[in-house]
Chain A
Amino acid sequence: MKKSIALATAAALFAAPAMAETVKLGVLLGFTGPIESLTPDMAAGAEMAMAEASASGKFMGGSKIESVRGDSTCVDAAAATATAERLITSDKVVAIMGADCSGVTTAVLQNVATAKGVVMISPSATSPALSTIEDNGLFFRTSPSDARQGQVLAEILKEKGVKSAAISYTNNDYGKGLADSIQSNFEAVGGKVTISASHEDGKGDYGAEVGALAQAGGDVLIVAGYLDQGGKGIIQASLDAGAFDTFVLPDGMIGDSLPEAIGSDLDGSYGTLPAAQGDGVAMFEKLAGAAGFNPGPYAPQSYDAAALMILAMQAAGSTDSNTFKAKIMDVANAPGEKINPGELGKALEILAAGGDVDYVGASDVELIGPGESAGSFQEVVVKNKKITPVQFR
Chain B
Amino acid sequence: MDAVLNALVLIGNYIVVPGLAYGSQLALGALGVTMIYAVLRFSNFGHGEIMSFGTMLVIMATFAMQDVGISISPLPTALLALPVGILGAVGLCLLIDRYVYKFYRQQRASPVIYLIVSIGTMFIIGGLIRFIIGPKDRNFADGERFIMKASAFKANTGLAEGLAIKTAQGVTVLTTFVVVGLVFWFLNYTRTGKSMRAFADNEDLALLSGIDPDRVVRITWIITAVLATIAGTLYGLDKSYKPLVYMHLLLPIFASAIVGGVGNPLGAIAGGFVIAFSELAITFAYKKVAAYLIGDGVLGDGLLQLLSTDYKFAVSFMILVIVLLVKPTGIFSGKTL
* Chain A residues near B (Cβ < 8 Å): 171, 195, 197-198, 200, 202-205, 207-209, 211-212, 214-217, 228, 240-242, 261
Chain A residues within an 8 Å CB radius of B240: 204
Q: Is the CB of A195 within 8 A of B14?
A: no
Sample of 9 more A-B contacts, CB < 8 Å, known A207-B18, A241-B150, A242-B153: A202-B245, A205-B238, A207-B14, A208-B279, A211-B284, A214-B14, A215-B286, A215-B303, A242-B154
17 A-B pairs in the complex with CB atoms less than 8 angstroms apart: A195-B303, A197-B309, A202-B242, A203-B245, A204-B235, A205-B22, A208-B283, A211-B284, A211-B285, A212-B283, A212-B285, A215-B286, A215-B303, A240-B146, A241-B164, A242-B13, A242-B162
Chain A residues within an 8 Å CB radius of B13: 241-242
Q: Is B188 an interface residue (CB 8 A)?
A: no
Given known A-B contacts A204-B240, A208-B279, A241-B164, A215 and B312 have beta carbons under 8 A apart? no
Chain A residues within an 8 Å CB radius of B242: 202, 204
Other-chain residue from B146, B150, B285 in contact with A215 (beta carbon distance below 8 A): B285
Q: Is B244 an interface residue (CB 8 A)?
A: yes
Q: Is the CB of A212 within 8 A of B305?
A: yes
Q: Is B105 an interface residue (CB 8 A)?
A: no
Q: Is B287 an interface residue (CB 8 A)?
A: yes
Instruction: Identify the interface centre among A197, A204, A205: most chain B CB within 10 Å of its CB.
Output: A204
Q: Is the CB of B150 within 8 A of A242?
A: yes
Q: Is B130 an interface residue (CB 8 A)?
A: no
Q: Is the CB of B245 within 8 A of A215?
A: no
Q: Is the CB of B287 within 8 A of A215?
A: yes
Leading 4 A-B pairs by shortest Cβ distance: A242-B150, A204-B245, A215-B285, A242-B162
Other-chain residue from B14, B154, B308 in contact with A241 (beta carbon distance below 8 A): B14
Instruction: For the complex formed, measure the closest distance between the CB of A201 and the CB atoms of chain B, giving whole angstroms.
Output: 10
Please, which residue of chain B has its CB at the minimum distance from the CB of A213?
A: B285
A197-B303 Cα distance, complex, nearest whole Å? 12
Q: Is B335 an interface residue (CB 8 A)?
A: no
Given known A-B contacts A212-B305, A242-B151, A202 and B287 have beta carbons under 8 A apart? no
Other-chain residue from A198, A202, A216, A241 in contact with B303 (beta carbon distance below 8 A): A216
Q: How many residues of B contact A (CB 8 A)?
A: 39
Q: Is the CB of B239 within 8 A of A212?
A: no
Chain B residues within an 8 Å CB radius of A261: 139
Instruction: For the complex formed, measure the closest distance between the CB of B28 and the CB atoms of chain A, giving whole angstroms.
Output: 16
Q: Is the CB of B239 within 8 A of A240?
A: no
Instruction: For the complex formed, measure the closest distance between the CB of A84 and the CB atoms of chain B, giving whole angstroms.
Output: 22
Q: Is the CB of A209 within 8 A of B303?
A: no
Given known A-B contacts A240-B166, A242-B13, A242-B162, A208 and B149 have beta carbons under 8 A apart? no
Q: Is B67 an interface residue (CB 8 A)?
A: no
Q: Is B288 an interface residue (CB 8 A)?
A: yes
Q: Is the CB of A208 within 8 A of B164?
A: no
Interface bits B231-254 vs A (CB < 8 Å: 1, else 0): 000010011101011000000000
A207-B16 Cα distance, complex, nearest whole Å? 12
Q: Is the CB of B245 within 8 A of A216?
A: no
Please, which residue of chain A has its CB at the minimum distance from the CB of B289?
A: A215
Please, which residue of chain A has its CB at the minimum distance from the CB of B151?
A: A242
Instruction: For the complex formed, measure the closest distance between the CB of A70 and the CB atoms of chain B, giving whole angstroms.
Output: 19
A171-B284 Cα distance, complex, nearest whole Å? 19
Given known A-B contacts A241-B14, A242-B13, A212 and B284 have beta carbons under 8 A apart? yes
A212-B283 Cα distance, complex, nearest whole Å? 8
Other-chain residue from B22, B137, B239, B309 in contact with A209 (beta carbon distance below 8 A): B309
Q: Is B217 an interface residue (CB 8 A)?
A: no
A214-B242 Cα distance, complex, nearest whole Å? 26
Given known A-B contacts A202-B245, A240-B164, A242-B150, A208 and B287 have beta carbons under 8 A apart? no
Please, which residue of chain A has its CB at the minimum distance from the CB of B304?
A: A215
Q: Is the CB of A208 within 8 A of B245?
A: no
Given known A-B contacts A208-B279, A208-B280, A242 and B14 have beta carbons under 8 A apart? no
Q: Is the CB of B288 within 8 A of A204?
A: no
Q: Is the CB of B312 within 8 A of A208?
A: yes
A197-B280 Cα distance, complex, nearest whole Å? 17
Instruction: For the complex formed, measure the closest distance between the CB of B316 and the CB atoms of chain A, giving whole angstroms.
Output: 13
Interface bits B134-159 vs A (CB < 8 Å: 1, else 0): 00010100000010011101100000
Q: Is B214 an interface residue (CB 8 A)?
A: no
Other-chain residue from B150, B166, B289, B309 in contact with A208 (beta carbon distance below 8 A): B309
Q: Is the CB of A216 within 8 A of B14?
A: no
Instruction: For the complex formed, measure the closest distance between the CB of A30 and the CB atoms of chain B, giving whole angstroms.
Output: 14
Chain A residues within an 8 Å CB radius of B310: 171, 198, 200
Q: Is the CB of B309 within 8 A of A215?
A: no
Chain A residues within an 8 Å CB radius of B235: 204
Instruction: Identify the interface centre among B154, B244, B309: most chain A CB within 10 Å of its CB.
Output: B309
Please, which residue of chain B has its CB at the minimum distance from the CB of A207?
A: B18
Chain A residues within an 8 Å CB radius of B154: 242
Instruction: For the complex formed, measure the closest distance between the CB of A338 and the CB atoms of chain B, giving whole angstroms.
Output: 43
Please, which residue of chain B has its CB at the minimum distance from the CB of A205?
A: B239
Please, which residue of chain B has its CB at the minimum distance from the CB of A198?
A: B310
Chain A residues within an 8 Å CB radius of B308: 197, 212
Q: Is the CB of A217 within 8 A of B288?
A: yes
